[in-house]
Amino acid sequence: MKNKSRRTHNQKHNETTFLAKVAELFDIAHADAMELLDNPEDMLFLESQRKKGRSSCLVGIDKLLFEEEQKQKVKEKKLAQRLHRSQI
């Protein structure tokens, strides 16, 4: 508030430096996140999030994983039907 009307070069530099530090402050990933992750896509995403500018975004649903899970459910359902038929 004290310097809000000040528009010197030094003041502008201080403000941009502060804003950059605030952006870096909110990296809430685990310190050992890269070692803990197994999925290469997740590793690439985290790496891109840690770069300046943060060009990546997280989509609501991983489509490939969703399709694999659906295939797995269908296989389990068919297996359950076969087991039920064999018991009759």
pTM: predicted TM-score of the whole model, two decimal places: 0.37
Angle at 16 between CA 49 and CA 6, to 5 degrees: 160
Farthest-apart Cα atoms in the chain, separation: 86
At 18-71, the pLDDT tens digits run 888 887 776 677 778 888 888 888 888 888 777 776 665 666 777 888 899 999
Asked if residues 54 and 48 have their Cβ atoms less than 8 Å apart, the reply is yes
Distance, CA of 2 to CA of 14 (rounded, Å):
14
pLDDT confidence tier of residue 82, bands split at 50, 70 and 90:
very high
Flag whether pLDDT at 1 surpasses 70: no
Flag whether pLDDT at 79 surpasses 90: yes
Model pLDDT, residue 56:
58
